[in-house]
């Protein structure tokens, strides 16, 4: 196995042929409004409902942005827009469900594609661990609002439990070991996994309904909360200067993840050339405007240094003595989280399937259940992985890991555009990223700036994850790659 073979690329023709063999042609039914709704459905979740508090107030690992959270949101929105333009070109060029993994296989070669596929597990599965944990926080808040208190030892992460003697004292013990875990988070993941295993389809109407609920509660928060804003809370505007704004931007990046999911529908768009960019940029634009408004109202309602809580929007309403609004927001937030969980829990097995079809993962990952017609094994493994993670992990640790993994994928998508334009300048592109190479290179710079905002501990975790991925590739993927076996369509760069 030569060094050059690690960078063999899969030709776009062979990918499209493989796609035709497997799936047949999909119906082109999606228009621009469907795509924007799809995007908003995948984007609005734990980030805006849960992590904004950490971004504003900071935590033991990073400084907070304070009221300058507004600037953090604007800068992250801009960074995502640059990458989104690159995603749109690749999605229209390689309209296959594997997302950034597939694009990279066609541009930067097998090893990098594997690393991206491995990192997409961070985006989808680890991201979902974070969303499930945040879901649990709001769900317990909702129960509390109804007078039902969930035992703390059954709704906590391991680190909090270990550092809180009161929780450990309450917990039942088996052979002296206290039983602490996040039961609601495990419960929602298990439920959604069963739904996806038996292949219940989420209709466009259902998604549109969930999107309306999400936007409705955020609009309620902004419109009602605006009356309780005290401008003195916006002073000082940036208590930790640029360092705080950058750390805040890195945290709220999580709130934007999901727009890339639209790119996987390239084959189902009526007019991909026009509608994909409208869908991707439109949903990003809608979310950025809403996020900035929420950030302004939130930091105006309570002092920024009191925002480090798992349910900042509800807490702000309770502080303003608006318990009814806090209840509605908690309910809407549970719905919003559930929508994101579904999209990501559905996306992860598709990526595992693509990698398995290429021989980089065992064939069982692409096996389809004969009765339910779903990728049974891949869905089940994803469900177990997310449930186990959600039972013990904390929101911030998982969100950081997810965001670093996603940003690394974004970075390579931007580089991929430049590489492919040079290598295949005359290939017909139904959507072209404007001003190449300026836009992709600015995208790379923006991703690097966001990456620099994560704490060291998150980088250590990421390095461990990456090392594990390279070991898996060396032990399995490298030897079983279908591209390696078929010498005809392989090419080393």
Q: Compute the least distance from the CB of residue 117 to ligand ALA, in Å.
A: 19
Q: Compute the least distance from the CB of residue 51 to ligand ALA, in Å.
A: 7
Q: Compute the least distance from the CB of residue 122 to ligand ALA, in Å.
A: 12
- Residue 47 within binding range of ligand ALA, rule CB under 6 A: yes
Identify which range of 44-52, 386-394, 421-429, 465-473 contacts ligand ALA by CB under 6 A: 44-52
Identify which range of 201-209, 249-257, 384-392, 441-449 contacts ligand ALA by CB under 6 A: 249-257
Q: Helix 272-301 and helix 241-256: axis angle, to 10°? A: 130
Tell me the CA end-to-end span of the chain in Å, nearest whole number. Answer: 15
Across-strand partners of 8?
492
Q: Compute the least distance from the CB of residue 402 to ligand ALA, in Å.
A: 8
Buried b (16+ CB within 10 A) or exposed e, 131-145: bbbbbbbbbbbbeeb
116 vs 483: CA distance, rounded Å: 17
Provide the token pair at 315: 């807490």
Q: Compute the least distance from the CB of residue 341 to ligand ALA, in Å.
A: 8
Provide the token pair at 40: 């908003």
Provide the token pair at 26: 């999909």
Provide the token pair at 393: 């992990």
Q: Compute the least distance from the CB of residue 110 to ligand ALA, in Å.
A: 28
Which residues touch 287 (CB under 8 Å, ≥6 apart)? Answer: 39, 40, 43, 44, 77, 255, 256, 259
Identify which range of 20-28, 30-38, 40-48, 211-219 contacts ligand ALA by CB under 6 A: 40-48
Q: Compute the least distance from the CB of residue 255 to ligand ALA, in Å.
A: 5
Number of residues that bind ligand ALA (CB under 6 A): 11
- Residue 257 within binding range of ligand ALA, rule CB under 6 A: yes
Report yes or no: 183 and 139 within 8 Å, Cβ to Cβ: no
Nearest to 440 by CA among 408, 405, 415, 406: 415
- Residue 297 within binding range of ligand ALA, rule CB under 6 A: no
- Residue 295 within binding range of ligand ALA, rule CB under 6 A: no
Q: Which of 141, 244, 258, 272 binds ligand ALA (CB under 6 A)?
A: 258
In the complex with ligand ALA, the residue whose CB is nearer, 337 or 478, is 337
Length of the chain: 493
Q: Which of 46, 94, 280, 298 binds ligand ALA (CB under 6 A)?
A: 46
Report yes or no: 299 and 235 within 8 Å, Cβ to Cβ: no
Q: Which of 131, 161, 238, 381 binds ligand ALA (CB under 6 A)?
A: 131
Q: Which residues are near ligand ALA by CB under 6 A?
A: 43, 45-47, 127, 131, 254-255, 257-258, 340
């Amino acid at each position: 196995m030569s060094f050059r073979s690690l960078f063999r690329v899969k030709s776009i023709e062979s990918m499209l042929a493989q796609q035709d063999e497997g799936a047949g042609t999909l119906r082109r039914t999606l228009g621009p409004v469907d795509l924007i709704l799809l995007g908003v459905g995948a984007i609005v979740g734990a980030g805006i409902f849960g992590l904004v508090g950490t971004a504003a107030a900071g935590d033991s690992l990073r400084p907070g942005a304070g009221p300058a959270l507004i600037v953090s949101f604007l800068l992250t929105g801009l960074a995502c827009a640059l990458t989104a333009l690159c995603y749109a070109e690749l999605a229209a060029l390689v309209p296959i469900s594997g997302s950034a993994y597939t694009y990279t296989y066609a541009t930067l070669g097998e090893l990098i594609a594997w690393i991206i596929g491995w990192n997409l597990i961070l985006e989808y599965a680890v991201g979902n661990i974070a969303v499930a944990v945040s879901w649990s926080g709001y769900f317990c808040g909702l129960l509390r609002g109804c007078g039902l208190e969930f035992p703390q030892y059954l709704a906590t992460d391991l680190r909090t439990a270990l550092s809180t003697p009161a929780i450990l004292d309450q917990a039942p013990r088996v052979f002296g070991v206290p039983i602490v875990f996040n039961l609601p988070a495990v419960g929602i993941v298990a439920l959604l996994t069963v739904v996806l295993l038996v292949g219940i389809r989420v209709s466009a109407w259902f998604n549109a309904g969930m999107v309306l609920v999400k936007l409705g509660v955020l609009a309620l928060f902004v419109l009602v909360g605006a009356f309780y804003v005290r401008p003195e809370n916006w002073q000082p505007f940036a208590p930790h200067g640029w360092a705080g704004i950058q750390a805040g931007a890195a945290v709220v990046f999580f709130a934007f993840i999901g727009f890339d999911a639209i790119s996987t529908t390239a084959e189902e768009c009526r007019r991909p050339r026009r509608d994909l960019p409208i869908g991707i940029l439109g949903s990003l634009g809608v979310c950025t405007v809403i996020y900035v408004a929420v950030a302004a109202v939130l930091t105006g309602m309570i002092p920024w240094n009191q925002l480090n809580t798992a349910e900042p929007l509800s807490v702000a309403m309770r502080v303003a003595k608006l318990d009814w609004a806090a209840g509605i927001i908690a309910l809407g937030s549970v719905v919003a989280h559930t929508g994101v969980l579904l999209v990501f829990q559905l996306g992860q097995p598709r990526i595992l399937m693509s990698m398995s079809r290429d021989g980089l993962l065992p064939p069982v990952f692409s096996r389809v259940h004969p009765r339910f017609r779903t990728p049974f094994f891949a869905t089940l493994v994803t469900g177990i992985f997310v449930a186990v993670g959600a039972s013990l992990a904390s929101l911030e640790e998982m969100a950081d890991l997810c965001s670093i993994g996603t940003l690394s994928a974004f970075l390579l998508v931007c580089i991929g555009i430049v590489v492919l334009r040079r290598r295949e300048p005359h290939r017909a592109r139904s959507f072209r990223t404007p001003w190449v190479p300026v836009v992709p290179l600015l995208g790379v710079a923006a991703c690097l700036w966001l990456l620099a905002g994560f704490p060291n501990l998150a980088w250590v975790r990421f390095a461990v994850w990456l090392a594990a991925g390279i070991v898996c590739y060396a032990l399995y993927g490298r030897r079983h790659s279908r591209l390696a076996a078929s010498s005809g369509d392989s090419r080393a760069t």
